[in-house]
Structure 1
Amino acid sequence: MDSGRVPALARAALEAPFEFAYVDETGDKGDPAASPGATRTYTLGCVLVPGGDWTDRLDWLAGVRREFRDAYGILVRHELKANVLLRGRGDLRDLGLGDGQRRDVFRRSLAALTVASSGVFAVVIDKEARPMDYQPEDRAWTYLLQRLRLRSERSGKPIILVHDGGDDATVRAIRRRFRRHSFAPGGVRVTAPLLVEDPVPRDSASSYFIQAADLVAYAAFRRFQAPGAKSGSVCDETMWDELRPVWRTEVTNARRDAIVVWP
């Protein structure tokens, strides 16, 4: 990797005319009280990427993928999401990579975002904390959109939301409702003119940035809910620290690690 490009990418982030916000989820929407197999949390991970030199940032991630190819035989087209790395499934099934090797891939994938991204944060909904008289995805997306609205207002730059395809209609409906009925603390109605267009769905298999958002979501979940001794060999609560240089800590006053937790 050409480390000389890092300062240029950092400067370009300040001058970018707009940002992409790539979002993916981890956890399910089920009620743990009603369905014992449901996850405790529902989490969204967000990766912010400046738009002005987007191709250079994609090239940085592609360079990291080539390093994985050379070290572990992982092809640049292989999809690297959390469930693949945790269990060696999917495209990694036939490579015989151990836990330590897959942890290295997870860690270096996150570390690459400290160069390629202008910020990361996450929203964690703790479904066990209160009776589920709400939709966790609705609450999580609303909190995420609130943070993106504030970021766009402070920077004066438009943000384009890109998410993993699958719940396209749900995400679009939440976004459109947020556009019409959004309130600041104190009940003041606000608008979000710099959150432009409808959310754009992408197939994660074709997007390094969506795959990165998936890893961010899982790392944030593990920061909130530490794994057991056996299940944390690939990603434990310390993995989130790899992203520290690009934590957007302004998203919450309750914590200093860029993770919004509800309630």
Structure 2
Amino acid sequence: MNTCLVYFDETGDDGANTLSSNQFVLTSIYMQTDTWQENFNKIRNCRKELKDRFGFHISEEIHTKHLVRDKGFYRSYGWTDQQRRDILIAFTKCIASLDLKIINVIIDKTKIRTEDYCVLEKALTYNIQRIDNDSHGQWNYLAITDKGRLAPMRKTARAIRAYNPVQSHFGGYTNQPIKGMVEDIMEKDSAESYFVQICDFVSYFVDLYYRSVDKKEALPIRVSRVIDTDFIRSVMATLKQGNTLNLKASSSHHPYGFVVYPK
């Protein structure tokens, strides 16, 4: 049986209230282990190109939110808004060229009606369910996440191995335990993983798309000074054209496969 590697990262706060964010986005990317090295090489070549064009050090992390807002160490580069857009475009094209799949789960916290709604648990469960469904029992997978939320994610993953209620087409729920996950979810610092950084990039743009296109909300001011809704649409369209998005993940036929809960 073949094995996949799965990486997770998120955008937004996983608290059930909307004080910090109105939604929580959990993105996963997954690939067969025999494609990992080729994917890694492509990202490495992209980073070398960014080093040549913009002086962006290969060893430094792409943290998309900070890059767009020109925060932290990014300010020391003195990039113009156009240069930052060019970096985003180059990285988008790189991701679209990779041999992997992406699933995006959005928990819209404005729709939560119960005080005991566990945002991270729900997002991870819905994400793993779709990875497991996509495997059709033909491959298993090992999951890796960024630092910070390991304990609750491990607890959730362990639980759905035994009990994973899925709504039946005939009414009610059936228990369909997760079978494909190997070992506990493991942790890796995003600064040391190109693939976790890709999850961060995609989840950030999914969050912006959901805000500005699906919900027709204004972009944050510091974001709108650099990119607009057309730019965000272009990023998502490029990822779709690269056949990286798992469009079957969404039962609501969202054009980019977003899985949105609560219903």
Contact 1:44 1:140 in 2 (8 A): yes
Contact 1:86 1:235 in 2 (8 A): no
Cα distance in structure 2, aligned partners of 1:176 and 1:182? 10
Task: Write the letter of the residue equivalent to 1:138.
Answer: E
For residues 113-192 of structure 1, the aligned pairs below 5 Å read: 113-133=95-115, 134-153=117-136, 156-186=138-168, 187-192=173-178
Cα distance in structure 2, aligned partners of 1:213 and 1:109? 12
Contact 2:26 2:105 in 1 (8 A): yes
Does residue 98 of structure 1 match 2:80? yes
Task: Write the letter of the residue equivalent to 2:9.
Answer: D
For residues 213-252 of structure 1, the aligned pairs below 5 Å read: 213-226=199-212, 227-228=218-219, 230=221, 231-232=223-224, 233-234=226-227, 236=229, 237-238=232-233, 239-244=235-240, 245-252=243-250
Unaligned runs of 5+ in 1: 1-15
Contact 1:106 1:235 in 2 (8 A): no
For residues 35-54 of structure 1, the aligned pairs below 5 Å read: 35=19, 38-54=20-36
Offset at 1:197? Answer: 1.1
Of stretches 225-234 and 75-84 in structure 1, the one that deviates more from structure 2 is 225-234
Secondary structure in 2 matching 1:45 = strand
Offset at 1:30? Answer: 3.1
The CA deviation string for residues 39-62 of structure 1, in whole angstroms up to 9 with x for no partner, is: 000101111222113122101100
Paired position in structure 2 for 1:259: 258
Contact 1:48 1:118 in 2 (8 A): yes
Contact 2:30 2:100 in 1 (8 A): yes
Does residue 109 of structure 1 match 2:106? no
Residue identity over aligned pairs, in percent, reads 24
TM-score (norm 1): 0.86
Of stretches 119-128 and 180-189 in structure 1, the one that deviates more from structure 2 is 180-189
Cα distance in structure 2, aligned partners of 1:153 and 1:205? 33
Contact 1:120 1:243 in 2 (8 A): no
Root-mean-square deviation (CA), in Å?
1.9
Contact 1:219 1:235 in 2 (8 A): no
Unaligned runs of 5+ in 2: 213-217
Cα distance in structure 2, aligned partners of 1:58 and 1:112? 11
Cα distance in structure 2, aligned partners of 1:229 and 1:175? 34
The CA deviation string for residues 79-126 of structure 1, in whole angstroms up to 9 with x for no partner, is: 001222112223422101122221222232122122223211201111
Cα distance in structure 2, aligned partners of 1:180 and 1:251? 22
